[in-house]
Amino acid sequence: MDLNSEVVYWVALAHLKNIKKKVVYNLVDQLDKKQITFKEFFNLNDEINDLFQDYFKFNRDLLPALADLKNNLTQYTFLVEALYNQGIEVIPITSEDYPNNLKINLANDAPIIIYIKGNKKLLLEKSAAIVGSRNASEESLIFTQELSKKFTGEYKVIITGFAKGVDRKALDTSLGNNGQAIIILPMGMLTVNNTLKNYYEFISNGDLLAISTFFPKSPWSVAQAMERNNYIYALADEIFIAESDFKGGTWSGALAGLRNNRKIYVRIPDSNENNANRVLIDKGALGVRLKKVEEEPKEIIMVREKENFNSGQEKLF
């Protein structure tokens, strides 16, 4: 890997400490307008830093971070080599392969780069997110399974996390029914290999795409799991929650989505269930339930009704 590769600079810029994304976006925009590559920018003489600060219109606070980046380019070069050696691709926000949904739904909070392993053409397909609790009830898992089967039959890509419970049920149901899926990870790509090994066949066959937005060597963390859900909701065309706790990634992601006027569907809980589904419906999510057909053969039919849903009404799928 060339030390001056643009990808190396993208990775380094994406993980600048204590620098907001919009500051990096501004720098990228200024370089693009002036048609200057990262290599040319970072090879400018350090003595003119005070001058090109005004020329490139970025904050003086960014200068120490950029100097530190330049001093650590070799480290980032080795990191990018490790990624490429494992078939992991880096997609910056300026790339035509970068998903438009992330740009549209997250604006300045969109990830500067995404790391992917698998079939990136899945990013162009119609999609539906199915998410929920790690400790979901049997009702929620049945809902997840049937919804995943329905969308797989409609040739929609299932987008979910990689946690136990609802996420894994949605993923395994889709892949088990010859469907396709995208998983968004709450850790770095270089720390998830052992967990992903059971899915390598689906990645190789083009039926699964794994995405991470975090530093490649970053381990799992609660904060990243919560942030990951925001990316799931932003990437998907449709969003379905099988079961939410009163805190955690599903809950925070749902609230963020509702604040951004995203249409979010939540399974209507039974009266004896102890989860946050009803609260999310009261906050503006659309309630959904499965319509069971009692005649033989028994199956679950999901019918979309009119969209003018009010709290307390049921919407059948």
- How far is Cα 21 from Cα 24, in angstroms, rounded to an integer? 5
Residue 67 confidence (pLDDT) = 82
Residue 306 confidence (pLDDT) = 36
Tell me, yes or no, whether 124 and 81 share the same domain: no
Torsion angle, alpha carbons of 184, 125, 244, 293, to 10:
-140
Tell me, yes or no, whether 136 and 198 share the same domain: yes
In 3-state terms, what secondary structure has residue 2?
A: coil
Residue 315 confidence (pLDDT) = 55
Residue 199 confidence (pLDDT) = 94
Tell me, yes or no, whether 59 and 140 share the same domain: no
Tell me, yes or no, whether 192 and 259 share the same domain: yes
Q: How many domains does the chain have?
A: 2
Task: Give the chain's count of helices (H) and strands (E).
Answer: 14, 11
Residue 295 confidence (pLDDT) = 46
156 within a domain of the structure (yes/no): yes
Q: Which run of H or of E encompasses 113?
A: strand 113-118
Tell me, yes or no, whether 261 and 140 share the same domain: yes
Tell me, yes or no, whether 79 and 171 share the same domain: no
130 within a domain of the structure (yes/no): yes
Tell me, yes or no, whether 177 and 279 share the same domain: yes
102 within a domain of the structure (yes/no): no
Residue 308 confidence (pLDDT) = 42
Tell me, yes or no, whether 190 and 127 share the same domain: yes
In 3-state terms, what secondary structure has residue 299?
A: strand
- Domain of 183 in residue numbering reads as 120-301
Tell me, yes or no, whether 67 and 166 share the same domain: no
- Which residues, given as ranges, of the chain have pLDDT below 70? 1-4, 45-60, 292-317
Residue 303 confidence (pLDDT) = 41
What is the domain-level CATH number for residue 250?
3.40.50.450
Tell me, yes or no, whether 127 and 78 share the same domain: no
Q: Which stretches does DSSP call E strand in 225-263?
A: 238-243
Tell me, yes or no, whether 75 and 126 share the same domain: no
Q: What is the pTM of this model?
A: 0.88
- Percentage helix, strand, coil, to 5, in the chain? 45, 15, 35
Residue 212 confidence (pLDDT) = 97
Tell me, yes or no, whether 166 and 27 share the same domain: no
- How far is Cα 180 from Cα 39, in angstroms, rounded to an integer? 38
